[in-house]
Structure 1
Amino acid sequence: MMNPLQSPKYFDLRTQPPNPDHGHGHHDDDAAADASDSLTDWDGKEHLDAWSDEDTARNQPLVLRRRKTRARKIREAVASLRSLLDTVLLLVILGLVLERRGQREGRYEFAGDLSGFAPRFSQQIKTFVPDPGFVPENGSEFFTKEVREKWLSIVPKGLGYVRINDTKGYDNLPTPLLFYPNSTFTTSMTHQIHCLHNIVEVVAALTSNQPDMMPMEGAWHLSHCFEYLRQSIMCCGDVALEGQQTTFPEGWKGSDGWDAKHVCKDYSQVISYLEDNSADKDVWI
């Protein structure tokens, strides 16, 4: 007969029934607790798994959208960078083409050096101004120290004779001068001034009746200088416009050229360059 004070024990069919070999009491409570924990663990895991699956399903489109947005921004940045690089490369190529075209069209400097020895000098606008100190009307004055110093002031030390040590680095070099060390050459500008000075020297000696002041080179050198200067003038071909004369004696018409403006090289740069590369430092003309 059942004790009315003792309630019957019910077991969850999902759990293992108690072992009849063991006693009752706290062992039964432990079994119930284990059953409850097992049920709780099983239900909680099932709930978490269900929540995780639901959350993933709900958030998956947002993740994909973020990834697509990030990928699109990266593509746009790469496209912009590539466009910038293409533009820079195009400008560089265009600059190189224009530079090469300019080199082909203006490869040689007007009235300049063909070999590449001399650089391009700056240009200046010059108005010719008469200076009678170079060629005095009185021929005898030409042989004074003052006049000679004026002529020496317009030529470099060494009179434009230059030495080129590495001749292989230049094109179209003429035959080097004999009786000079290494590869020595003279320059056209100083040669022209030397010839002009020689002509004036002859004229001054003749007009002042001082035959002993004639240059020792003689007539052959005078003839050479006339021809050399003729071709030099024709080579330069200066076509600056000139107007009415202002210094001729009364009754004379024409142009003296003193009001014309000319495009010239910076003469101080030319002198400085020739002195820096001179074969020697002799002062003569």
Structure 2
Amino acid sequence: MEHLRFLSWNSSGRSKVNALEDEQLMSKESGKLETQLRILCERQGKLRRWIIGLSILVGILALALLGAVSHSTRDPDGEQTMLSPVPRMPRTKVTFEEDKLFANGSNPKSDEAWATLTPQGDGFILLPNNTRQQWDLEPGKPTKAGEVYDISVFHELHCLRHIRTHTFTLQALIGEDDPQKIYDLLLKPTEDHVFHCFDYIRQALMCAGDMTIEWPRVEADGSRFAVDGWGITHECKSWCSCAYTSTAKCVRPNCDPLGSPTLSITPYCLLCHTSDAKGQEQCPYLEGQ
């Protein structure tokens, strides 16, 4: 009986020992799982912080890139503009007044004044080869020295001069023996060009969109009803800067890729060195050019 009790106790003891060992093993395994879980949580926390930091960095870089692109395509006033090798022109205040040198019929002095509005090179500029791509420009007229392009404002003046010439030629035909023959010979071939110029100047004026407010002039009796535009101050691009920039990049006579003569006379703004009542601006930096 004692032997049986010993066996019984021995069996019961072994069960207790096994249970204790199992409990210890489970405790160890649980401890390992808790440790692994804690490590995993820590890694997830670090990963989350890395993702947040990286997202912020990408956002900052995206904003910086957007700002750089926006800065390159907007002027200081926030207006949308295009990339161009021509720098932004400074602005100046100009008061519009009638100038009889231009508001006149065809005569040597007026004709010369109109001709001198175009700087040397007739407004055409030369860009070095393989540079137009950075400005997203279509190909110009190819030459060995570079590619030739026109500047819009000088194209507009060219058109205005052409319309002026056409008008005074028509005027000169009055009283001729055979005006139709002269018209067919001199004017008919250039009509398409004149029509082009009317439309081109129309679009140029609408593009510039000068929104200066104008008031009626004072009549002899003190009344106001007619608006002639004189005596009104406008904010304009510096004309001397426009002429200077075009001259600096102009097509020179000694490398004339257009095959046409260029003007060698002094641009009109260089003839006016004082800011007079007619709003002509000073151009001291152009003296001697």
One-letter amino acid of the structure 2 residue matched with residue 132 of structure 1: K
User: Cα offset for 1:173?
Assistant: 1.1
Paired position in structure 1 for 2:126: 163
Question: Is 1:182 matched up with 2:150?
Answer: no
1:62-90: CA deviation from partner (whole Å, max 9, x where unpaired) = xxxxxxxxxxxxxxxxxxxxxxxxxxxxx
Q: Distance in 2 between matches of 1:111 and 1:204?
A: 40
Kindly indicate whether the alpha-carbon contact (under 8 Å) linking 2:216 and 2:224 is maintained by their aligned counterparts in 1: no
Cα deviation, residue 275, structure 1: 0.6
What is the CA distance between 1:254 and its match in structure 2? Answer: 2.3
Q: Which residue of 1 aligns with 2:95?
A: 127
**Which of 247, 250, 263 is the aligned partner of 1:278?**
250
Superposed CA deviations along residues 236-272 of structure 1, whole A, max 9, x for unmatched, are 1111000113589x99942111122211111111111
State the SS of the aligned residue for 2:173.
coil
Paired residue for 1:28? Answer: none
User: Secondary structure of the residue that 1:227 maps to in structure 2?
Assistant: helix
The match for 1:146 among 91, 101, 109 is 109
Which protein has greater RCO, CA pairs closer than 8 Å, 6+ apart? 2
Letter matched to residue 207 of structure 1 = Q
1:106 to 74, 91, 100: 74
Partner Cα distance (1:217, 1:260) in 2: 39
Offset at 1:165? 0.8
Structure 2 residue runs without a partner (length 5+):
1-63, 254-261, 266-289
- Work out which of the residue numbers 157, 160, 175 in structure 2 matches 1:196: 160
Residue equivalent to 2:214: 242
Q: Which amino acid aligns with 2:116?
A: S
Q: Give the number of the structure whose alpha-carbon radius of gyration is greater.
A: 1
Q: SS in structure 2 opposite 1:124?
A: strand
Q: What SS does structure 1 have at the residue aligned with 2:226?
A: coil
Cα distance change on mapping 1:174 and 1:252 into 2, 3 Å: farther
The residue type equivalent to 2:117 in the other structure is I
Distance 1:98 1:175, change over 3 A: closer
RMSD: 3.9
Matched residues, percent identical?
Answer: 23
* Equivalent residue number for residue 20 of structure 2: none
Per-residue Cα deviation, 1:141-184 (whole angstroms, up to 9, x for no partner)? x1x32122211222211111011114245323133137896310
Equivalent residues of 1:115, 1:173 under 8 A apart: no
Which structure 1 segments of 5+ residues have no match?
1-95
